[in-house]
Structure 1
Amino acid sequence: MPEEKLSLQELWKRVSTSDSGSLMKKHLTPSVYNRLKSKVTDYGGTLADCIRSGCMHLKSHCGIYASDPEAYDTFSDVFYPIIREYHKVDKLEHPAPDFGDLNNLGFGDLDPKGQFINSTRIRVGRSHANYGFPPTSTKEDRLEMEKMTVDALRTLRGELAGKYYPLTGMTPAVQKQMTEDHFLFRDDDPVLGDAHGYDDWPAGRGIFFSNNKKFLVWVNEEDHLRIISMQQGGHLAEVWQRLVKGLHALEKKLTFAHHPKFGYLTFCPTNLGTTLRASVHIRIPHLSKHKDFNKICEGLNLQPRGIHGEHSDSVGGVYDISNKRRMGLSEIEAVQEMRRGVEKIIELESGLKTKGKL
């Protein structure tokens, strides 16, 4: 639970008189605030539920979460302009899902000689239809979502088959192994905590992974579901095929929240549309030192991060490189954009290694 339960009026005073550079502060003008302050979604979500974390953490970039799927429209006066600005889209029009022809993708291993890419990972977020997000979910809701998810996971076969490990009652031995495998998620992010992300912790939360540890599902971490495919090396096609097969198998048993303007809905407005993040851990010791490294990534619609996530540092010239755009393009287009960008990154790194310059 949030440490400090301020009223909406107190939250508004805190952010409106601050020098916060968040998108929420920018777009929640006094007139917008007055229009929205009394509105409530059918899930019971309020403006306070949406802005609380951003008001408690004034250095947040976005500063707003959706209390539930309806919040995006109920509080559209603030959400719509934030979504346009963050995702750099003029129109709120997201295309229908398209995962491409899995038998004819036109790409395979991005680094067949193993010279650059340590690992490849793709994840998507999904929300169960007809359930609120963390601020409006009850403990009973979380337990219901966990049960329906586990029932669906038990139907997975072949390389997708595995086991579910609930956080409640997890043994020290399993926790140690999860930590070593980098599978375990924790309740230590104060920004997410003040957005009600850890309410009733650890009830209704857990981790599924396949027997080969290449397909994972996080249950009720930040989003209802985080579905992940990953493996060592740069074989993007195998990672993508596994993710899509797993996702389609789960869709036979579960219904996910989807919006005609925004595509798939999740808790955070920065993760809408495809909700897809395709990434590689890549060794680029030369390019990463180049003065235009960040500019190069920006031009390729790529986002560079340290290997431990956003705001972390690189270790040994290894970076986490992923697609930056999630809205306004299809799933296969997002993966192809990442693929083309990573190929260019490898080309530039190779040139610097051999020639000493771009």
Structure 2
Amino acid sequence: MISVLERCYNVLHGRRSSTVSSSSAVTLSSSTYCNSFLGKHIRRHIFDTVKFRVTKLDHNLYDIIWPSVKKLPKEVGFRDALEQDYPLGIVAPDIYAYTVFREFLDPIIKDYNYIDINQELLHPVTKFMEGDRYLVSEIDLDPQRKYVLSGTLNTTRNLADFELPKSLNHGQLELVERIITSVLLGKEVAKALYPLTSELEIEEKGSGTYYTMNEVLEDPSEAKLLLSNNGLLIPLWNIPDSERLHGSHWPYGRGVFISNGANLAVWVNVLDHLRIVTCSDKNHPGAIGQIFSRISRLMVVLDQNMKFIFDEKLGYLSSRPSAVGNTLQFKLTMRLPYLIKEPDNLKHLCAVRGLTHSRSTNTTDVVKLGNQQCLGITEQQCFEDITTAVANIIQLEKDLAMSNSLHIAAIFLNIFKKKKLAQSA
């Protein structure tokens, strides 16, 4: 494994090692997905410090960096999904990795979250709302539905008394599933998801439906279609070589809860114990306040009924090192026909506002924007930051559209003037 790690180091730095046999157990390729964050931070002295370490569950450095160095499956969309779900090119094979490999992981996580590498980490306590201020937020970034096509919000939690799902046995997977679903299918969650619904209606309809992972993966799958149509589907990594992500018992003990309105899903034991995804209304895709309010109300109930892993430095921990801290990840699909004409400028505009940016592969003027920072700030601050940043991007798009309209109007005015002059002559 040490020789494999040496090859990994060379791959991440764009070099090939001639001293290591190519018959090694793991085949590496310099053409694999190598993230710039990882290449920048895996320095020789750090690498030599951590390469001999293993966690309590016997995971080593390769188990963290493999997405950036291993040859990937050739399935369509696998690479894109991996880059979106794991933008840092690393995974946390267990919770202990954050402590055992702290010298390696902390600088990467800080850099990604715009935190000075020399700054001491201290994540603030949870703060979704101030009083009742965000219980029903009316903030809609695009009331006219001209720019925002859809909006989603993810958040992740792991139970304090259990290992991550990939390390659980059959009985433990069942127990975690039972603990979580008993809360999700209860009245408290129903009241949180539908605050304006009567007690009688809640009694009759409940909060939602739980589907096992086998029901989701079957073909055709009613649950999967429902999730996909509402933007609630996450990468499931249901591939032959999925043991590195899921462990040896996939898909047993996994599933997804879907709310009655199909606007919220809670994935259970898929990489993390809970991964909550909620989507904006199709008639109000820019209603970012509604999805934040929905998550806020749900998390109040979950926090009262379950205890989650929380690190005073890194906040809530996840199998995805890019989703620690408050773990909130907003994603807005937007149409920006004028800003997209200068893609490099748009990328810069997003970067300076703390937004992630990716192009849609289907259409030329559609982009996906999201918040990058979720560490070192409260949930409330995260919501306010992305609201301000996206509103600013929309205003820039409007300004460009107006400038273009004025330019076209000026051209037509000049044409008419020339025609009048020609006629008078």
Task: Report the TM-score when normalising by structure 2.
Answer: 0.73
| Number of corresponding residues | 346
CA shift at 1:153, angstroms? 0.6
Flag the 1:320–1:199 CA change in 2: closer, same or farther, 3 A: farther
Separation of aligned partners in 2, 1:257 and 1:139: 21
Flag the 1:301–1:17 CA change in 2: closer, same or farther, 3 A: closer
1:72 equivalent to 2:92? Answer no
Separation of aligned partners in 2, 1:135 and 1:28: 26
Flag the 1:35–1:268 CA change in 2: closer, same or farther, 3 A: same
SS in 2 for 1:267: coil
Separation of aligned partners in 2, 1:119 and 1:103: 26
1:289 equivalent to 2:341? Answer yes
Question: Is the CA contact 1:121–1:231 (under 8 Å) kept in the aligned structure 2?
Answer: yes
Q: 1:112 aligns with which of 139, 143, 151?
A: 143
Flag the 1:110–1:176 CA change in 2: closer, same or farther, 3 A: closer
SS in 2 for 1:168: helix
1:16 equivalent to 2:68? Answer no
Question: Is the CA contact 2:166–2:246 (under 8 Å) kept in the aligned structure 1?
Answer: yes
- The residue aligned with 1:212 is 261
Counterparts in 2 of 1:234-253, with a 5 A limit?
234-253=286-305
- The residue aligned with 2:365 is 317
1:329 equivalent to 2:377? Answer yes
- The residue aligned with 2:325 is 273
Amino acid at match of 1:141: Q
1:167 equivalent to 2:220? Answer no
CA shift at 1:188, angstroms? 3.9
CA shift at 1:69, angstroms? 1.7
Separation of aligned partners in 1, 2:386 and 2:349: 13
Separation of aligned partners in 2, 1:9 and 1:357: 62
Counterparts in 2 of 1:23-102, with a 5 A limit?
23-57=37-71, 62-90=88-116, 91=119, 92-101=121-130
Question: Is the CA contact 1:64–1:268 (under 8 Å) kept in the aligned structure 2?
Answer: yes
Separation of aligned partners in 2, 1:277 and 1:191: 28
SS in 2 for 1:104: coil
Q: 1:342 aligns with which of 386, 390, 396?
A: 390
Q: 2:154 aligns with which of 123, 133, 150?
A: 123
Q: Tell which deviates more after alignment, 105-114 or 148-157.
A: 105-114
Separation of aligned partners in 1, 2:250 and 2:234: 12
Flag the 1:168–1:138 CA change in 2: closer, same or farther, 3 A: same
SS in 1 for 2:214: coil
Gaps of 5+ in 1: 1-7, 307-311
Counterparts in 2 of 1:134-149, with a 5 A limit?
134-149=165-180
Question: Is the CA contact 2:166–2:271 (under 8 Å) kept in the aligned structure 1?
Answer: no
1:300 equivalent to 2:317? Answer no
Q: CA offsets, 1:173-206, max 9 Å, x none?
A: 4244444444444544779937423642211221
| Greater C-alpha radius of gyration | 2
Question: Is the CA contact 1:128–1:255 (under 8 Å) kept in the aligned structure 2?
Answer: yes
SS in 2 for 1:278: strand
Flag the 1:179–1:297 CA change in 2: closer, same or farther, 3 A: closer
Separation of aligned partners in 2, 1:87 and 1:100: 22
Question: Is the CA contact 1:24–1:78 (under 8 Å) kept in the aligned structure 2?
Answer: no
Separation of aligned partners in 1, 2:230 and 2:122: 38
Question: Is the CA contact 1:99–1:331 (under 8 Å) kept in the aligned structure 2?
Answer: yes
Question: Is the CA contact 2:354–2:372 (under 8 Å) kept in the aligned structure 1?
Answer: yes
Question: Is the CA contact 1:11–1:52 (under 8 Å) kept in the aligned structure 2?
Answer: no
Query: Which structure shows the bigger proportion of residues in helix conformation?
Result: 2
Q: CA offsets, 1:47-76, max 9 Å, x none?
A: 343234434259976343222222111121
Amino acid at match of 1:325: Q
SS in 1 for 2:323: coil
SS in 2 for 1:252: helix
Q: 1:351 aligns with which of 399, 404, 422?
A: 399
Gaps of 5+ in 2: 15-29, 73-78, 195-206, 407-425
Separation of aligned partners in 2, 1:189 and 1:15: 25
CA shift at 1:339, angstroms? 0.5
Question: Is the CA contact 2:215–2:221 (under 8 Å) kept in the aligned structure 1?
Answer: no
CA shift at 1:242, angstroms? 0.8
Amino acid at match of 1:221: V
Flag the 1:283–1:264 CA change in 2: closer, same or farther, 3 A: same
